Structure 1
Amino acid sequence: MRVTAAARKRSVRNRAYAGRYAAGRRDGWRDGWRDGYWMGLCERTVRAAEAPLPVRDVHVMYVSTGKGFPYSPIDEAIAGSLEQLVTRLTVVERKEEAPSAAAAVRPDAVLFLDGLHVPPDIPDRIRELGIRTVIWFTDDPYYTDITASLALHYDDVFTLEANCVEFYRAAGCQRVWHLPLGFYPGHFRPQNAPAGVRCDIAFVGSGYWNRVAFFDQLLPYLKGRDLRIIGYWWERLRDYRQFASRIEGRWMTPQETALVYGGAKIVINMHREPDDGTFNSNSVGLGAVSPNPRTFEIAACASLQLTDVRSELAAYYVPGREIETYASPEELAAKIDHYLVHEDERRAIALNGLYRTMRDHSYARRLDAMLGALFG
């Protein structure tokens, strides 16, 4: 029987299709098993770290920052966490309404976050009612020129930066505590990220000058790597045009950020410098030793985190076991190369970091410590 050219072409196409189908089925089974096993490990780790927190018989009023994004997710995290910890929570969305709301419901304490845009007469009026006022400064030490005077209008001052405790005491504040930020499990946790957001290396954050200078030295080592940078101001890079296709200048929601973290094998963390004259109000030159909130958010997504070192970091994670560090572009590039080919090591550190984060560094844990300081 004569086989036509068209039939031969159909036969070739069918064999090619069958080959692709078989390869896709094989690869899909392999990848699905691998990803499912990893997510199972992550879920087991999260459950092992869970522990109940006490519920205190107190009434707390939380005054939202009212600053919108990117503060609105933190407002959500604080309110959602406090709800688990106190018998009564009142949330006030507009700071201007806080004094009248406090007069109406008489809470045991009124908590403000950030406070940079809260007129001092608002906490003053609440204090005149005999109600305790609390501020949690979230951007120390970058705006200490402003917060030094604001802090005096509150009964209790909490700061995420350990270096600022003595600073506020010297300014005249009587009750000051160090309390770092954390992560909110409603936003950050391990996820099976879709293929479209997966990559080898990710960095999320604004292009402050210290970061730009560092990446100018780092990027030549990463030319052939699967890299994503997401944030504003990265057009400052010396070789921006060469890497522009890998850079996305935008803000992301916490949920979008968590997907990027979860989809990356390695996430780079780099702290902002407290002496950046463009964006800071820190004329006294206070240094920074405490980790940024991104430290906890990355670890909560079960990705290997490579971070620059702040001296207080070891109080939160064991370097080399729960987190990995670097001190130069060359060291960072070498560790990226190492962990991309040593998957078992990479995932072991990521799981250890996930456990420590879920156990110790949630906003619920932070607020439980705050309530303990306030009410015993």
Structure 2
Amino acid sequence: MKVLLSGTLNPRFEALPEYLAAALRRLGNEVTLFDHRDFFLPGRLRSRVAALDRFDRSRLNARLLKTVRRLRPDLLIVNQGTVLTRTTIGQARALGARCVNWFSDFPAEFETGLEVAPAYDAFFLGSSFAAARHREAGLRRSFWLPFGCDPEQHYPDRERDARSPRHGDVPEVVFVGSHYPERQILLRFLRGLPVGVWGPGWERAADDPHLRPMIRGGALRPGAWRRLYAGCRVALNIHYGSFGPPDASGGLANTRVFEILGCGAYQVVDRQGDVLRLFRDGEHLVLYSSGEELRARVEEALLDEGRRREVARRGRDEALARHTYAHRAGVLGDPSAGDFAPHTEVRSSARASASPSAIVPPYPVRTGSARGPR
């Protein structure tokens, strides 16, 4: 099958479009990539002059249609891509392409997603909460499709197992992700433990006496954080908006949920709705609902090597069995596909909760699809 995949392409940071393209090719498809963020003009200029912004957006839409006419793809997959108009997608469909969108991020551009969804043959969302909001709006071709992992990129170290000595530069407990207030608050509960933190923006926490010893560096390429996950004892995951209202995080299981499991790491993650729908607490990963519980789960893991190894093994097995990008590619290419079937029902509606002293400010709204640690 000929597939045209439109996404935000960054040669310095591989992410969902690259992983999905590789999976599609491994399944025998002919894949062409299109960068729908390849603007001619710099963003600062487009933001100041509306006419120039319209010109550049129109140019990108025309380029996509030109590519569709040249390739005549069977399937056009768009990842977010709100720069592509309903008219453009309609014209691509008229040219014979089945058009689907994997609107994977949340809450970025959610309202715009509601507007463009009717143009597509199918519209998949990374959050079950977001998919439910679409159906409440009468959008019957909108479905839930969570992230996945790429076994070719997210894998354990081949030369070691969980009993082997760690690499000297890999701390026992690792967190990789951008700085957000709720993350800083939670990580304070781990003061005194062997924690290393990497990601954009953590210089803002350099004056925090509890966080300063943990901060190791900024943004990492995927190969670097894979090595950290594969070499650590415990991999931490803290979702954006985890302590906010439902529409702050959408209950989303972020990319790290799947990537950490793919790397064979023991994952300690905040209690998000979609994580509970996809994985079992204590069997595939371990959940927490407060800073105190986070610390307790980490301390337990560091003391119990046998349980840590077993949970990490089962978590990776589950990720490879049901949650790779090859699985997701199969759904995107299937005209009869509907909502993703969860592995397990959510047994509790409890959300992560902070202690009264750990109040965070209102969550900023992300305005674009993420490229890099979140």
Structure 2 residue 209 is the aligned partner of structure 1 residue 252: no
Q: Which residue of 2 aligns with 1:240?
A: 208
Q: Percent identity?
A: 25
Matched, 1:76 2:18: yes
Map Cα deviations across residues 298-348 of structure 1 (whole Å, 9 max, x no partner).
011111101111123233222111111111111111222222121111111
Instruction: Report the equivalent of 2:74.
Output: 108
Matched position secondary structure for 2:30: strand
Distance 1:301 1:275, change over 3 A: closer
Task: Name the residue aligned to 1:271.
Answer: 239
Q: Is the contact made by 2:237 and 2:268 (CA closer than 8 Å) also made in structure 1? A: yes
Q: Which residue of 1 aligns with 2:130?
A: 164
Q: Report the residue type matching 2:196 in the other structure.
A: R
Number of equivalenced pairs: 307
Equivalent of 2:195 in 212, 227, 250: 227
Contact persistence 1:190–1:302 (CA under 8 A):
yes
Secondary structure, counterpart of 1:157 in structure 2: strand
The CA distance in 2 between the partners of 1:346 and 1:90, in whole Å, is: 39
Q: Which amino acid aligns with 1:134?
A: V
Equivalence for 2:6: 63
CA contact (8 A) 1:275 1:285 kept: no
**Superposed counterparts of 1:106-145, under 5 Å:** 106-145=72-111
Counterpart of 1:34 in structure 2 is none
Q: Sort the Cα spacing of 1:316 and 1:159 in 2 relative to 1 into closer, same or farther, 3 A.
A: same
Instruction: Report matched runs for 1:1-376 at 5 Å.
Output: 58-66=1-9, 69-70=12-13, 72-86=14-28, 88-95=29-36, 96=60, 97-191=63-157, 192=159, 195-216=167-188, 218-219=189-190, 222-223=191-192, 225-237=193-205, 240-241=208-209, 243-273=211-241, 285=247, 288-374=250-336
Pick the structure with greater CA Rg: 1
Shift in Å, 1:171:
4.1
Corresponding letter in the other structure for 2:123: V
Structure (1 or 2) with the greater helix fraction: 1
Unaligned runs of 5+ in 1: 1-57, 277-281
Q: Unaligned stretches of 5+ in structure 2?
A: 37-59, 161-165, 339-374
The TM-score normalised by the length of structure 1 is 0.74
1:229 and 1:248 in contact (8 A); partners too: yes
What amino acid is the match of 1:269? N
Report the TM-score when normalising by structure 2.
0.74
- Name the SS for the 1:76 alignment partner: helix
For residue 273 of structure 2, give the secondary structure of its aligned residue in structure 1: coil
Offset, 1:209: 1.9
